């Protein structure tokens, strides 16, 4: 008569299901469908969807592209390490490279403009975690991910690395200015 014994009804699959169970199964099913529709709906009407634009790349290729971008658009350098601050064209392209243990370069963007930011890592996995707005994207070596971002508010933002990448992981802090 219990769950640790064979079903007492030999033909248990013929026993009807009670209405309360049917009701719950129905409700749970409808809820699952609503959750499905929400994701699709957001792709059509939502303003936060992760881009599908991805290219295979290599350490050399991505480093070269980033260097070219930095060379062309640097407006000043900051900190003792002279990290370049780079201002891409409004609504233009930008590159952000993750490596042990830095986000390179610093970007300066304008609120309300949309940028195509090329993200990749050149050694290990890293995690793009934009704070305090809290957007988190996995950054994987060998993949160049082109993410369109539209900053909403002016301020100084931090890029925390939130994928473990070795002993200096906690020092891997980058910066984005939004003017």
Partner 1 sequence: MATTYRTCPRTGLQFDLDADKLMRWNAVAGVLWLLVGGITALLVILTRWPAIKLLPADQFYLILTAHGIDMLILWILFFEMAVLYFASSTLLRCRIATPKVAWLGFWLMVVGGIMTNVAIFQGSSSVMFTSYVPMQAAPHFYLGIILVAVGALLGTGVFFGTLVVAKKDKTYTGSLPLVTFGAMTAAIIAVFTIASGAAILIPTFAWSMGWIKEIDAQLYRMVWWALGHSSQQVNVAAHVSIWYLVAAVAFGAKPLSEKVSRFAFLLYILFLQLASAHHLLSDPGMSAEWKVLNTSYFMYFAVLASMIHGFTVPGAIEAAQRKKGFNNGLFEWLRKAPWGNPVFSGMFISLVGFGFIGGISGVVLGTEQINMLMHNTFYVPGHFHATVVVGTTLAFMSITYLLVPTLFKREMIFPKLCQIQPYLYGLSMIVLSLVMMGAGTLGVSRRHWDMAFSGAPFQYEWPGAAYLMMGLTGIFGVIAVVGGALWILLVVGSLLFGKKLDGGATHDKPVPIPDQSAAAAASHTGSEEHVKVPGTVVLAITLLTCFVLYYFVNWKYLSEVWGLS
The interface partner of residue 68, options being partner 1, Cu ion, none and the CB cut-off 5 to 8 Å by kind, is none
61 binding partner 1? (CB under 8 A)? no
Q: Of the candidates 64, 71, 89, 164, which one interacts with partner 1 according to CB under 8 A?
A: 164
Q: In angstroms, give the least distance from the CB of 73 to partner 1.
A: 20
Q: Do residues 141 and 125 make contact, with C-beta atoms less than 8 angstroms apart?
A: yes
19-24: long-range contacts, CB 8 A cutoff, minimum separation 24: none
- Tell whether residue 24 is a contact of partner 1 (CB under 8 A): yes
Q: Is 94 in the site for partner 1 (CB under 8 A)?
A: no
Among 67, 93, 129, 177, binds partner 1 (CB under 8 A): 129
- State how far Cα 34 lies from the chain centre: 24
**Residues β-bridged to residue 109:** 178
Q: Considering only residues 92 through 151, tell me which ones interact with Cu ion, judged by CB under 5 A.
A: 126
Cα 160 from chain centroid (whole Å): 12
**From candidates 65, 113, 116, 169, binder to Cu ion by CB under 5 A:** 169
Question: How many Cβ atoms sit within 10 Å of the Cβ of residue 174?
Answer: 23
Residue 123 binds partner 1, judged by CB under 8 A: yes
One of 42, 71, 89, 90 touching partner 1 (CB under 8 A): 42
Closest-CA residue to 151 (of 128, 178, 171, 169) = 178
* Shortest Å, Cβ 123 to partner 1: 7
Among partner 1, Cu ion, none, partner that 96 touches (CB below 5 to 8 angstroms by kind): none
Measure the CA–CA gap between 111 and 176, rounded to whole angstroms: 12
């Amino acid at each position: 008569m219990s769950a640790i014994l064979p079903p007492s009804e030999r033909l248990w699959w013929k026993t009807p299901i009670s209405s309360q169970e049917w009701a719950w199964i129905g409700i749970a099913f409808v809820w699952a469908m609503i959750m499905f529709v929400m994701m699709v709906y957001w792709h059509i009407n939502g303003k936060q969807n992760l881009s599908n634009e991805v290219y295979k790349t290599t350490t050399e290729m991505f480093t070269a592209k980033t260097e070219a971008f930095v060379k062309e658009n640097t407006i000043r350098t900051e900190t003792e390490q002279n990290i370049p601050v780079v201002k891409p064209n409004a609504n233009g392209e930008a590159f952000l490279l993750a490596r042990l243990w830095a986000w390179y370069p610093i970007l300066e963007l304008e609120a309300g403009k949309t940028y195509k930011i090329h993200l990749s890592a050149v050694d290990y996995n890293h995690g793009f975690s934009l704070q305090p707005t809290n957007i988190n994207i996995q950054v994987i070596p060998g993949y160049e991910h082109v993410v369109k971002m539209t900053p909403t508010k002016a301020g100084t933002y931090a890029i925390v690395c939130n994928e473990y990448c070795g002993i200096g992981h906690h020092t891997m802090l980058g910066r984005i200015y939004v003017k």
